Amino acid sequence: SGNVATYAAKKCIYNNAHVLSLSDRDGTYWCTNGMDEATVDAILLHKKSNGSPLPKNVKFLPGVRPWTANAKVKIDIALPCATQNEVDANDANTMLKRGIHALVEGSNLSSTAEAVKIYRQHSSQMSYVGSKLANLGGVGTSYLEMVQNAYKSHWTGEQVDEELQEMMKSAYKNAKMAAIEYDVSLTDGANIAAFKKIAKVMKELGYVNSGAHL
């Protein structure tokens, strides 16, 4: 459970989601009744201190991946946030059987090519939000930090979050519009929207002939 997973879990909890698990390379921390922020913090303290007890409502499942942990329990959303290729085809099929509605990549290229193929084959059941769109929050926050530095100003956390929310909404809207226009997935729509934006700027700056079709 790194920074991305930790804050993703806390954001989900803030929005009244029922967070069932966190994981690391050693296994999965499972909480049947759903975690609150105190539970997330207690798990992190346990991992760092190597001696602090886990909360009584949390069970550690050594060697078990979160996507297949307690496989009979229904899930709605999966947020892989650790590293690339952490979700494989077997994981994808297991989560589909568990009723997943959306997989949102918090890490770059979280899913193997085989897993992504399965997501696409079952697009009527689940939404797949790839890392390029899902990871925009980190890059967006870095941009907002640059803006603050340029103006030698300091924003509150609330101001940063408000600006970031608008940025994410705009990105989603552009990706969705491209997906509808070209009849592709939301992830492909994000790629198309990004390419078109870059192409437009390149034309305006004279790097590409204005009559070229990109």
pLDDT, one tens digit per residue, over 43-71 is: 999 988 877 889 999 999 999 999 999 99
Is the predicted pLDDT of residue 214 greater than 60, yes or no?
Answer: no
Average pLDDT, the chain: 92
3-state secondary structure of 212: coil
DSSP E strands in 51-166: the ranges are: 59-62, 77-78, 102-104, 127-129
Q: What is the pLDDT of residue 137?
A: 87
Is the predicted pLDDT of residue 136 greater than 90, yes or no?
Answer: no
Residue 126 neighbours by CB distance under 10 Å:
20
Residue 136 neighbours by CB distance under 10 Å:
20
Identify the band that residue 208 occupies on the pLDDT scale cut at 50, 70 and 90. confident
| Percent over 70 (pLDDT), the chain | 97
- 36 residue type, one letter: D
Distance CA 137, CA 37 (A): 21
Q: How far, in Å, are 6, 31, 114, 132 from residue 172 at the CA level?
A: 23, 31, 25, 11
Among candidates 37, 40, 33, 34, which has minimal Cα distance to 2? 40
Distance CA 209, CA 204 (A): 9
- Counting every residue written for the chain, the total comes to 214
Task: Please tell me the pTM assigned to this model.
Answer: 0.85
3-7 mean pLDDT: 91
